[in-house]
Amino acid sequence: MFDLDSFEKIYDISPLISENIAVFPGDTPFKRQVLMSQDQGHHLDLSSIHTTVHLGAHADATNHYGPGEQGIDQKDVRVYMGSCQVIQVRTAFNQRISLFDFEINQVTKPRVLFKTLSFQPNEWRDDFVALSAEVIQALAKVGVILVGIDTPSIDPSSSKSLESHKAVLENNMSVLEGLVLDEVAEGEYQLMALPLKIKDADASPVRAILCKF
């Protein structure tokens, strides 16, 4: 399925990770510490990183929004690879995507990524577009197992009730957030976005790619 020679185009939909990347206010920013450097006369380069697990393109685990739920190491990786559909919406800033913003009967794939163009990875803003719980419920009814978005969260930054995350949990779906879809047209793709196997973690960064035949 993922014979790269068979694809006409490969899109990297992950933002560049650097100290410039935005994180939720109050979360841990990205920091890379160089411990050894060949430029400084060491025999190799060696570094460590300190940051939130909700960094850039990332997969949420169910224990992020459900008490007693599983960490990211327990997720079935097959959820994050396979047939995918990109849908562009024109939802206003600071709003949730509703069923009036796209045609639910046009959803044909089990993984759906929403392109909103309402957030840039290195520029934090609170008014990014999120998802409504109504959309999550409708997607589940047509067989969607994973939903993704090109913003930091499927719920608004101010949300404490996390209605969309709770709808995802209720329907046994999975979430990708922080994607970069600016250069990706609407259509059908193959997705690969595997999370790291971090024990009990509430999320993991992913290197997300879309492949087009």
Q: What is the β-pairing status of strands 174-177 and 146-149?
A: parallel
Run of H or E including 31: strand 31-36
| Number of CB atoms found within 10 A of residue 13's CB | 26
List Cα–Cα distances, 207 to 12, 81, 122, 179, in angstroms.
8, 12, 17, 10
- Among candidate residues 42, 43, 50, 64, the one labeled active-site is 64
**Residue 23 — φ and ψ, nearest 5°?**
-130, 165
Between CA 158 and CA 111 the distance in angstroms is: 26
Tell me if residue 50 is catalytic.
no
136 Ramachandran zone, left/alpha/beta (phi>0; psi -120 to 50): alpha
Among all residues, which ones are annotated catalytic? Answer: 64
